[in-house]
Amino acid sequence: MRNTKRFKQHGMAQAVATVLTLLGAQMALADTAVDLGAVGTAGTGTVKSSQPQQGDANYEAPTQPSLTATEPQSIINQHYIEQNAAPGANYTDIISIAPSVMSVDPNGPGGMETQNITIRGFQDGQFNVTFDGIPIGDTNDFTHHSTSYFMNQDIGNIVVDRGPGDASNIGYATFGGTVAVASKNPSNTAGMTPFGAFGTWNTKLYGAQFDTGVQQNYGDGKAYISYKNFTTDGFLTDAGQRRQNILVKFERPLGDETTVTFLAMGNKLHQNVSYGTTLDQLQQNGYNYGLSSNPAQQNFYADNQDNITTDIEYLAIKSRLGTWKIDDKVYTYAYYHQGFNGGALGGAYGIGQYTANGTTLLNGNTLTSFPNDVPGNVLNNNYRSFGNILRLSKEYDRDVLDMGMWIDRQSNDKSLYEVDWTQNGAFNYPAGNGYANPLQNNIDTIGSEVITTLEPYVQYEWKPTASWTITPGVKYTSFIRDVNFPILNGHNPGSESSHDYAKFLPALTARYGVNDHWSFYSQYAQGFLAPKLQLLQKSPPVDPSTIKPESTTNYQVGTSWSDNRLVLGADAYKILTYNTTATVPCGAATCYQPVSNIDYSGEEFEGTFRLLKSLSLYANYAVNNYTLPSGVSPLNNVPHISGAAGVIYDDRIIYGSLIAKSVGGNYSNVSASGAPLYFGGYTITNLNLGYKPEAYLGKNTRLGFQVNNLFNRSGLYTSINSDFNGNPLYYVLPERSYMMSLTFSL
């Protein structure tokens, strides 16, 4: 139903030069304790807490390495997130500061799923995303939906792990790394914390968190419930979003050696989504043109909308039995997506048109043409996963034996129908589908798939001395995809197949701790990625055994330093990939083609230095290279060089940060003639100010002010889709925006 390759340094230099003039005005937000020990390799290990203090480098650092890491990783702690994340920011917006990460939200922070995220050149779908250790993903192509799960108010930390991890690292796509998002822990103190924010593009957030504190009469259990309501009109025209999110987390000890944790989250999202705009549309309708308010056009906002409902629940138990440790987590999560879109993209039919108007409707037993009606389609993509993660460890003096298993079963139903939006969503029967029976032409795709994933692992942490830890291990991954699509992409019969993609994945890591503040590490590990569903969606049907899974062999070395004055990490990597596929344009969808092998290599650096008691300097820098087979187009959204620099001021009452992220030139998509599109580099500078007026408005009152894209950098920055005629659809950098926020306690 219709419902009304050069690194741009001048920008960074300008940002850093401006810092000294802004320090006097910079003000602060939060006073939260951060435990950097909550993070280990692949976001699953732990280290002893160093209890850094406010103002220390290892407290204020936007990103920092771990002293126990055995591969390159960047920790983004809760303090940085609370002070710098925009009210509606997703995890993709937060990690954009990290080395080798490229990510821009085209509709403003939190206003839309990020369209171009890459880590070291690996695209979304080639790396893991986990929430509290649970791998989350759309098994169609292993991509993620950044607006559909945790909101930043509930995030305790994020670890960007750049590599497949050790044998204990689980997930659908260990191929290119893991983004490990962890929820906050309940507070020991009872209280109510309302919060709100408003700003540019009619952006608003309001919500509250209630903490029970430790309940001594109920077994020392503690919990919190958090509710958020986020709305924005968005930077792009008629591309608004409404989002509601609620999360409950409960922890309770059972005796001295056992803890039980329960978490439940629900998210409801409505959004109007633009797939990008042509150059003609930008010239005629303005820089921020996204969707149209004209119901006669196929990019009319009411005909291009998503209604998405998601949830995640888990029950976890951690226990110690002598020299054994047990960590077991049973979970479920779901994603229910109903999408409405205009017809197949095709800009040659005029501004705002995707393809020629015109539909064919069923009138009794007769097909009748309506040449001026607006065509479109309705998508349903619904899946739910059930799974269990069991981890066991046995201590042998200094050594540790780790073993475990992850099992997951995801059921996915999908359908796509042709409709006539002028006739309130009546079925459209276009001749293009070409069925023998024209009364089936309204169906593009209908079917289901079931995916069963099994990953047992074992590894041994050998400590020949107090300084050395050498960990060999192996993981077996089995990915069984059962596909049953009676109708697929306009073909009948469609596709029916079943295949088990399996592989042993060895890993060997070594870490040398020089002292309490300095360590070195090296890694050899293999990664794995099963074929995407789209590679099987062919007619005539494809034999799934003829499609090989993608895999990587990773070689990495690095070093980490961390104390209260200096945090520093540096690494170098070489990654050999096999049976790789790359994204290619195919209208509004994402398509994949085999490109054989790709070799990646590079160097990364990140560091924070406490210059004065309350003043720190931050920088990171990354060089990312790749080598392609002859005749293959450049990879999308892979800058050769990227980096960040800025300053942070924090004296408990006043907080301020001015940080610029620069992204070098890169390619994305192709022109109508098939030539790769090159986009120049850009620098985005963000200013975050805060003030904590304890003497006037209460202990936990925080006032915040943010400016995103302070210097109003503009221009085309990527193209993900093409129209029906092959013309690129572009996204532009969102203009400067402002946000005011208030948090207080009752």
Query: Kind of pairing, strands 128-131 and 178-183?
Result: parallel
Distance CA 31, CA 658 (A): 19
| 3-class DSSP state of 230 | strand
Distance CA 47, CA 51 (A): 12
Do the beta carbons of residue 648 and residue 634 sit within 8 Å?
Answer: no
The model carries a pTM of 0.89
CATH number for the domain harbouring residue 706:
2.40.170.20
Distance CA 390, CA 404 (A): 5
Query: Looking only at Cα atoms, what is the longest distance across the chain?
Result: 83
Q: Given this model, what pLDDT does residue 674 score?
A: 87
Close Cβ partners of 205 (under 8 Å, ≥ 6 residues apart): 87, 88, 195, 196, 197, 198, 228, 229, 230, 231, 741
Q: Given this model, what pLDDT does residue 497 score?
A: 85
Question: Is 3 among the domain residues?
Answer: no
Do the beta carbons of residue 357 and residue 373 sit within 8 Å?
Answer: yes
Q: Given this model, what pLDDT does residue 365 score?
A: 82
Distance CA 124, CA 179 (A): 11
From the centroid of its chain, how far is CA 528? Answer: 19
Q: Given this model, what pLDDT does residue 332 score?
A: 98
Q: In this predicted model, what pLDDT tens digit does every residue of 342-395 receive, in sequence order?
A: 876 543 334 445 567 889 998 888 889 999 999 999 999 999 999 999 999 999
Question: Is 1 among the domain residues?
Answer: no
Q: In this predicted model, what pLDDT tens digit does every residue of 215-272 receive, in sequence order?
A: 998 899 999 999 999 999 999 999 999 999 999 999 999 999 999 999 999 999 999 9
Task: Report the run of H or E that residue 360 belongs to, with start and end.
Answer: strand 359-363
| 3-class DSSP state of 438 | helix
Question: Is 303 among the domain residues?
Answer: yes
Question: Is 153 among the domain residues?
Answer: yes
Question: Is 4 among the domain residues?
Answer: no
Distance CA 413, CA 451 (A): 12
Q: Given this model, what pLDDT does residue 9 score?
A: 39
Query: Kind of pairing, strands 134-135 and 128-131?
Result: antiparallel
Task: Report the run of H or E that residue 283 belongs to, with start and end.
Answer: helix 279-285
Strand partners, 172: none
Q: Given this model, what pLDDT does residue 17 score?
A: 39
| 3-class DSSP state of 303 | helix
Domain count along the chain = 1
- Which regions in the chain score pLDDT beneath 50? 1, 3-49, 346-352, 588
Q: Given this model, what pLDDT does residue 486 score?
A: 86
Q: How far is CA 668 from CA 279, 479, 671, in A?
A: 15, 30, 10
Question: Is 456 among the domain residues?
Answer: yes
Instruction: Tell me how many helices (H) and strands (E) the chain has.
Output: 6, 39
Query: Kind of pairing, strands 468-487 and 443-461?
Result: antiparallel
Question: Is 717 among the domain residues?
Answer: yes
Q: Which residues constitute the domain of residue 119?
A: 10-46+57-743
Do the beta carbons of residue 467 and residue 422 sit within 8 Å?
Answer: no
Q: Given this model, what pLDDT does residue 590 score?
A: 53
Distance CA 413, CA 86 (A): 34
CA–CA–CA angle 377, 380, 383 (5° rounding): 160
Do the beta carbons of residue 57 and residue 566 sit within 8 Å?
Answer: yes
Spatial CA neighbour of 347 closest among 672, 732, 675, 116: 672
Q: Given this model, what pLDDT does residue 44 score?
A: 40
Question: Is 276 among the domain residues?
Answer: yes
Do the beta carbons of residue 50 and residue 676 sit within 8 Å?
Answer: no
Where in 530-653 does DSSP place strands (E)?
Answer: 550-562, 566-578, 580-586, 589-596, 599-610, 615-627, 641-650
